[in-house]
Amino acid sequence: MAFTPVSEISDPVHGYIYLSEVERDIVDTYVFQRLRRIRQLAGAHLTYPAAQHSRFEHSLGTMHIAGLAGNVLVNKGYFDGDEIQNLRLAALLHDVGHGPFSHLFEEVMAERSNVTHEDIGRKIIQQTEIKDILDKHGFDSKAITMLSFGKSKLLFLNELIAGGLSVDIMDYLQRDSYFTSAEYGKIDAERIINSFEVYNNKLALDKAALYSFESMMISRYEMFKAVYFHKTVRSAEIMMLRSMILADEELHLTDASLKNYLEFTDDATMVRLITLQQKNKQLKLAAKLARDYRDRKLLKCVFEKILHKSDSIIRKVLSKRLLKNMTEEIAKSAGVEANHVYIDVSKAPSVPLTPTKEELNAIVLIGKNINGKKIHHTLPISEIPLISSISGFMDMIRVYTTIESRTKVEKAGKKVLGTGMESWYEKVSM
């Protein structure tokens, strides 16, 4: 079914974003409007005040870029023009299952259950009014769901939605850069999109755009360091993370039934946390952490260690049990209660994962031989110097504490962890 615009939305990143009738009907639902009340960058606004943008705008931007990419592939003969609307709908709905505080809530779900925002997104598309709207307009909700979450038989479309060349990355880097004023996220998305090719059912790139791809990967890496895992941003987020985990049994935050899940947005969750009935020490601490988050009384980072090798010893260390041991030893050495010590661990991939959640290890480039015939070349990431240098995982461990315990925990953190992660691993593994 062809894409036919019927309305428009002005966007600060992309200019005018045009909506078809089915897209407009979906955007106007309660389920989709809920995304207005979920910030794209969780607690980043406490460090970057203008970072108030939401999953709502990001979803619209991702849909817009998906349409541009679809048009390029249609014009090159890789794609049926009638399928562009399906691609746009899949991109529009790819984040519909996010919980309060975006990826921060994903950490809560990982701690408390095996459910992901993709699992919730599948249920939303197939079990709410969104399904009714898709049916009404003649679309297959199951097919849209599969494409939204990387299960389409057309692998190159999965890669367009999520992966190293995805429209998702192209929107969030530009949007997050705009609202935080961090310059790192500026990319040449138009060059990349116009250079899209398809080979053997996989998304490929004209070799002339390789440097634009390389630049985008470096931009993403720098945005992770400067924004997404900024130490003050994470200070706020681990407070909210701990608060939600402590209060989960009381508030049923990770109850994945749609009736319950769809009630939780950033502000609704915050209110419930702050007004908790403080029946025990656990709930009292949960409420205090939420209040301090709201009032920007943040924890202080007193120790940090970063490694960039995928096979580093830190990956062996960072189990839940060992982190608990670290926390207890630091608290004991500092002479403070364990709930004054917060260890934050990031194991974010330095290069985006593929739709199947594997590390991106190569990119297909398309060129031409002397006769003008297209030829392909699979280029390993290891042969792209700048990307190879950051590949693997951005392993990071930080120790945070309250202002009152700052000096004691700083000394204890350096004493316990400062001699090197290798010696710590050997000690706790004996």
- Does 198 share its domain with 141? yes
Residue 415 placed within a domain: yes
Query: Which one, of 97, 222, 213, 102, lies nearest residue 164 by Cα?
Result: 213
What one-letter code names the amino acid at 189?
A
- Does 195 share its domain with 322? no
**Backbone dihedral angles phi then psi of residue 371, each to the nearest 5 degrees:** -95, 5
- Does 22 share its domain with 149? yes
Strands across the sheet with 374-380, in order? 196-199, 202-206, 362-368, 374-380
CATH number at residue 35: 1.10.3210.10
Rounded to whole angstroms, the Cα distance separating 64 from 67 reads 5
CB-neighbour burial class of residue 108 (10 A; exposed 0-12, middle 13-18, buried 19+): buried
Q: Under a CB-based contact definition with an 8 Å cutoff, are residues 172 and 369 in contact?
A: no
- Work out how many domains the chain is built from and give that number: 2
3-state secondary structure of 302: strand
The pLDDT assigned to 422 comes to 55
Residue 98 placed within a domain: yes
- Does 39 share its domain with 160? yes
Rounded to whole angstroms, the Cα distance separating 64 from 94 reads 13
Range of the domain at 331: 299-350+392-430
Give CA angle at 34 (29, 38), nearest 5°.
155
User: Which tokens sit at 71?
Assistant: 């048009």
**Residues in Cβ contact with 14 at an 8 Å cutoff, skipping those fewer than 6 apart:** 61, 64, 65
Rounded to whole angstroms, the Cα distance separating 346 from 397 reads 7
Q: Under a CB-based contact definition with an 8 Å cutoff, are residues 319 and 424 in contact?
A: no
Residue 309 placed within a domain: yes
Residue 278 placed within a domain: no
Rounded to whole angstroms, the Cα distance separating 347 from 345 reads 7
Rounded to whole angstroms, the Cα distance separating 98 from 119 reads 10
Rounded to whole angstroms, the Cα distance separating 251 from 64 reads 37
Give CA angle at 311 (310, 314), nearest 5°.
95
DSSP-derived letter for residue 79 is S
- Does 171 share its domain with 314? no
Rounded to whole angstroms, the Cα distance separating 37 from 242 reads 21
- Does 375 share its domain with 403? no
CATH number at residue 345: 3.30.1370
- Does 318 share its domain with 378? no
Q: 20: part of which helix (H) or strand (E)?
A: strand 15-20
- Does 429 share its domain with 338? yes
- Does 226 share its domain with 335? no
- Does 84 share its domain with 212? yes
**Residues in Cβ contact with 12 at an 8 Å cutoff, skipping those fewer than 6 apart:** 178
Residue 260 placed within a domain: no
Rounded to whole angstroms, the Cα distance separating 427 from 15 reads 56
Count of Cβ atoms closer than 10 Å to residue 10 Cβ = 8
Residue 286 placed within a domain: no
Residue 223 placed within a domain: yes
The pLDDT assigned to 320 comes to 74
The pLDDT assigned to 241 comes to 95
Rounded to whole angstroms, the Cα distance separating 157 from 74 reads 12
User: Position of tokens 């400067």?
Assistant: 226
- Does 182 share its domain with 85? yes
Residue 263 placed within a domain: no
With a cut of 70, which residues of the chain have pLDDT below it?
A: 307-319, 419-430
- Does 378 share its domain with 316? no
